[in-house]
């Protein structure tokens, strides 16, 4: 009798735990991360508004990465970017980071158009650093996998805050 | 000799794998998720722009949740919300979902002020459904843990799209 009651309790427990967790028809999904593979150990802002707030309040420059999951150039850059220890450490300690797959309504973030991958720096004074760019004159904020050292140099430039230059 | 070479290779492999993965000084972090605990199985939009785009292109209403990690009302609502199978299933199948911890620049999302927790519905026609509200006259878009059935009713109302009512 006790055994039967225990079994019933167990069955109920299993049912309720099944009810508690919704599983989509297509099967269980891996929760999406905010990093989207650009650096799982970094603390990513979710939106541009949030990133600007963090940048101002912490007095740290902001890096904004525009990318797409189905763009091979974005994927290739993401791989070297996420595996580069110097980039990851510098971003973690000295920057606010945001990666976006959709454009914002702020035109300052697309000085020469909307394309991916594209990396913009924003000063804590909320000025988009259009002066910090890559090596391509037709897509000034694009970086390729071979441009990592230029990107690191540009990060150093972004760290010299505008107001300290006045 | 072969053994020594193998050892050296092993040591190098260990070193390079250490270099490859950046670990913050404060220790390894669990990657942040876009769900932030409001439903790990749902596919969350990252930004309002993205959510509006999904809503229009899929012709599904959008639910926007404003919340804060250090707000006990938000946390309590999140618990019952994420564990409610009906809410999770309906959202997964019939809605676009977005949860935000920072306000957007769009004033339509704060018809009676900025507070948390706050839930707004947006029609695929990009109209904020200010007519769909909770039970508190001073904070019309607030929901408490006891208001889950009202929230489900409101979700059903949001599913009746505005243009189909014309």
Contact status, residue A44 vs residue A101, Cβ threshold 8 Å: no
Tell me whether residue B25 is in a domain: no
Q: What is the mean pLDDT of residues B3-31?
A: 72
Tell if the CB–CB gap between A34 and B32 is shorter than 8 Å. yes
Q: Quick check: B83 pLDDT over 90?
A: yes
> Closest by alpha carbon to A49, among B135, B81, B105?
B105
Tell me whether residue A146 is in a domain: yes
Q: Which residue has the higher pLDDT, B1 or A129?
A: A129
Tell if the CB–CB gap between A22 and B34 is shorter than 8 Å. no
| B131 part of contact set with chain A, CB < 8 Å | no
Query: What length does chain B have?
Result: 166
Tell if the CB–CB gap between A43 and B32 is shorter than 8 Å. yes
Count how many pairs of residues, chain A against chain B, have C-beta atoms within 8 Å. Answer: 92
Tell me whether residue B41 is in a domain: no
| B104 part of contact set with chain A, CB < 8 Å | yes
Contact residues for A146 (Cβ-Cβ < 8 A; gap 6+): none
Contact status, residue A80 vs residue A28, Cβ threshold 8 Å: no
Q: Domain range for residue A131?
A: 48-158
Helix H, strand E, coil C: the string for chain A is: CHHHHHHHHHHHHHHHHHHHCCCCCCCCCCCCECCCCCCCCCCECCCHHHHHHHHHHHCCCEEEEECCCCCHHHHHHHHHHHHCHHHHHHHHHHCEEEEECCCCCCHHHCCCCCCCCEEEEECCCCCECCCCCCCCCCCCCCCCHHHHHHHHHHHHHHHCCHHHHC
What's the maximum distance between 2 C-alpha atoms anywhere in chain B? Answer: 83
Tell me whether residue A82 is in a domain: yes
User: What is each CA distance from A34 to A40, A66, A111, B31, in whole angstroms?
Assistant: 8, 13, 25, 8
Tell me whether residue A88 is in a domain: yes
| B50 part of contact set with chain A, CB < 8 Å | yes
Model confidence band, residue B21 (pLDDT cutoffs 50, 70, 90): confident
Contact residues, chain B, for A102 at CB < 8 Å: 46-47, 49-50, 53
Of B31, B53, B102, the CB nearest to A102: B53
- For residue A76, give how far its alpha carbon lies from the nearest alpha carbon of chain B (Å): 16
Tell if the CB–CB gap between B46 and A34 is shorter than 8 Å. yes
Tell if the CB–CB gap between A47 and B20 is shorter than 8 Å. no
Contact status, residue B142 vs residue B74, Cβ threshold 8 Å: no
Q: Quick check: B75 pLDDT over 60?
A: yes
CATH of the domain at A106: 3.40.30.10
Tell me whether residue B65 is in a domain: yes
Q: Which of A15, A33, A46, A69 should we substitute to test contact with B (largest number of B Cβ atoms within 10 Å)?
A: A46
The token pair at B48 is 């309002």
CA angle B135, B136, B137 (to 5 degrees): 115
- For residue A4, give how far its alpha carbon lies from the nearest alpha carbon of chain B (Å): 29
Model confidence band, residue B5 (pLDDT cutoffs 50, 70, 90): low
pLDDT score at B1: 61
Distance CA B139, CA A143 (A): 47
> Closest by alpha carbon to A66, among A33, A103, A29?
A103
pLDDT score at A30: 94
3-state secondary structure of B120: strand
pLDDT score at A21: 84
Taking only the tens place, the pLDDT of each residue in A54-79 is 999 999 999 999 999 999 999 999 99
pLDDT score at B56: 97
Domain count, chain A: 1
Tell me whether residue A67 is in a domain: yes
Tell me whether residue B90 is in a domain: yes
DSSP letter string, B147-164: GHHHHHHHHHHHHS-HHH
Tell if the CB–CB gap between A19 and B85 is shorter than 8 Å. yes
Whether ipTM > 0.95 holds is no
Model confidence band, residue A163 (pLDDT cutoffs 50, 70, 90): confident
């Amino acid at each position: 009798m006790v055994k039967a009651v225990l079994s019933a309790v167990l069955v109920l427990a299993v049912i309720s735990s099944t009810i508690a967790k919704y599983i989509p028809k297509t099967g269980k999904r891996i929760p999406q991360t905010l990093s989207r593979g650009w650096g799982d150990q970094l603390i990513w802002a979710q939106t541009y508004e949030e990133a600007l707030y963090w940048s101002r309040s912490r007095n740290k420059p902001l890096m904004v990465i525009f990318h797409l999951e189905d763009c091979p150039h974005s994927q290739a850059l993401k791989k070297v970017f996420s595996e580069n220890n110097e980039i990851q450490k510098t971003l973690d300690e000295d920057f606010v980071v945001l990666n976006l797959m959709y454009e914002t309504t702020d035109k300052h973030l697309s000085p020469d158009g909307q394309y991916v991958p594209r990396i913009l720096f924003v000063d804590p004074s909320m000025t988009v650093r259009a002066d910090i760019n890559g090596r391509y004159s037709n897509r000034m904020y694009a970086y390729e996998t071979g441009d990592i050292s230029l990107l690191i140099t540009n990060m150093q430039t972004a760290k010299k805050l505008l107001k300290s230059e006045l």
